[in-house]
Structure 1
Amino acid sequence: MRQIDIGITPENRTAIAEGLKKLLADSYTLYLLTHNFHWNVTGPQFRELHLMFEEHYTELAVAVDDVAERIRTLDVIAPGTYKAFAALSSIKEVDEVPEASQMVEILTGAHEQVVKTCRTVLVVAQEAADESTASLVSDRMRIHEKTAWMLRAML
């Protein structure tokens, strides 16, 4: 393949991609957590939470693809294994099946963590004048902030 020449130095592309790898890992871990809770939620809010969690994991499925493809656009290999995601993610996996209200609380914290990861990556992208990554990360941040707000409103 031809050498990449998109106006971002190799060092900056690597730094941005490293941040995006963490965002990808956090997003994928959140996707799995949300899908797990979708399958296993019970209680009086079952239908509402079951449907909401489905909306969230469906949106996240597209998001992880967008983030991984941005990493590849920067000419860096995107992580794609559970092992790699576990090593990179700031979000802790949940082994048990918590009650519905705990699920909402756990997901709220996880979305807030993704926002923090976005903020870190955004600074690196902005310093490198990488508007494409900055736009992607900014959009992701907005979605996770809104989702966290909606989840918090249920608590």
Structure 2
Amino acid sequence: MTQTAISLEPNALDAIADALNQSVAETVVTTMLAQNFHWNVKGMAFGPLHALFQEIYEDHFVGQDDLAERVRALDKHAEGKLAGMLKRSKVEEQDGTQTDKEMIRLLMEAEQTIAATLAGAGELAAEHGDTLTEDLCIERGRTHEKFAWMLRSHLQG
């Protein structure tokens, strides 16, 4: 058996790595979604949305790296092909022709999807005693919920 940073059964390692790779895929697709919207947003709210979308994709770029590095710390393969990530992700890419409100809604839904995926990955890690993965999932999930709230607030009122 391969030595890892933590002692987990091989099936647990596989399941946790798979859940993390799901989180990476959704984060990568959402990173590109936010960058696409950053480039293409128009309208009276251009300035604040342009800045918010940039804040999101910059955060997510770091987050996807943290998640993928955790996969590697578990001595598993981190998915690196965009085609594989697009196939796996529950978040779908967009063409950037949406209205500003549609961009906000789509990005909000993407953030909620990632937060839910991370919550599931964190619960799985906790079940197997992998507190480091659980902690990372909680931290990243909290970030995605915050971005979902910020985006949702743009659509209210």
- What is the TM-score normalised by the length of structure 2? 0.94
Offset from partner CA, 1:51-101 (integer Å, 9 cap, x none): 111111000010010000000001111001111101210101113510111
Amino acid at match of 1:40: N
Paired residue for 1:91?
91
Aligned to 1:75: 75
State the match for 1:116 in structure 2: 116
> CA separation of 1:60/1:5 partners in 2, compared to 1, >3 Å: closer, same or farther?
closer
What is the total number of aligned residue pairs between the two structures?
154
Moved over 4 A (4+): none
Question: What's 1:134 paired with?
Answer: 134
Whole-angstrom CA distance in 2 between matches of 1:109 and 1:25: 15
Unaligned runs of 5+ in 2: none
Whole-Å separation in 2 of the counterparts to 1:12 and 1:5: 14
CA distance in 1, matches of 2:45, 2:4: 50
Q: Corresponding residue for 1:43?
A: 43
CA shift, 1:4, in A, is 2.6
Partner SS, residue 118 of structure 1: helix
- Give me the CA root mean square deviation: 1.1
User: Kindly, what percent of the aligned residue pairs are identical?
Assistant: 36
Give the stretch that moved more between structures: 111-120 or 129-138: 111-120
What secondary structure sits across from 1:76 in the alignment?
A: coil
Q: Who is 1:10 aligned against?
A: 10
